[in-house]
Amino acid sequence: MKLFGSYTSPFVRHIRIALAETGLAYELVETDYAQSAAQSPAQRVPFLQDEELQLTDSTSILRHVRARAGQPFLADIQRLDMYCLVNTALDTTINLFLLDREGLKSDANPYLQRQAARIQTTLQALEAASVPEAFVWDDATIRLACFIDWAIYRQRLDFSAYPNLLAVLEKANRQAAFIDSKPPAA
């Protein structure tokens, strides 16, 4: 099994955590923009090759990894909804990060301002849903922890107003696979 991506991608990190937890053997192939454009119709990372199977989205890759190991992907529709909510915030934050690197700031036009506002309303909803006493280490929580840690790593968001989200990150930082998957220091 070959996982194509980068060590700093939160999507790739989540898959690396799932692979570590399942014990499935894989090779991480460092991939840049040009390679992902040439090798994946989605033109982004991660993508996975498992013999004849090629998957082009982190969600389908995670489901495949969990299924190969005989593990559930997400237990119920509420956990799936939380996972999807985190994905919305993560995708939006990454898109604004990449646009910022190209010189286009989020206050440049009304559409980008709405995207920045979307991140904040999503963080508020995730804060309300993340009760520290009900911590469950599953793919919804792993995705959330990868998002928070990436946003801090890239200095994209301030989580000081979100103590429940910071508590999720603190608890994630006690999980061996999460610790072992940290990206290199910037």
Residue 180 placed within a domain: no
In sequence order, the 6+-apart residues with CB closer than 8 A to the CB of 180 are 20
In a domain, 103, yes or no: yes
Mean pLDDT throughout 68-87? 96
- Cα–Cα distance for residue pair 112/104, rounded to 1 Å: 9
pLDDT at 33: 83
- Which uninterrupted H or E stretch holds 117? helix 110-129
Which of the listed residues 37, 68, 99 is the one where a domain comes to its end? Answer: 68
pLDDT at 108 over 70: yes
Does 184 fall in a domain? no
Band of pLDDT at residue 185, cut at 50, 70 and 90? confident
Q: What pLDDT does 55 receive?
A: 97
Q: Among 68, 100, 120, which residue terminates a domain? A: 68
Residue 53, domain extent: 2-68
Provide the pairing of β-strand 47-50 with 2-5: antiparallel
Is 53 among the domain residues? Answer: yes
Domain count, the chain: 2
Q: Which of 44, 68, 92 finishes a domain?
A: 68
pLDDT of residue 132: 85
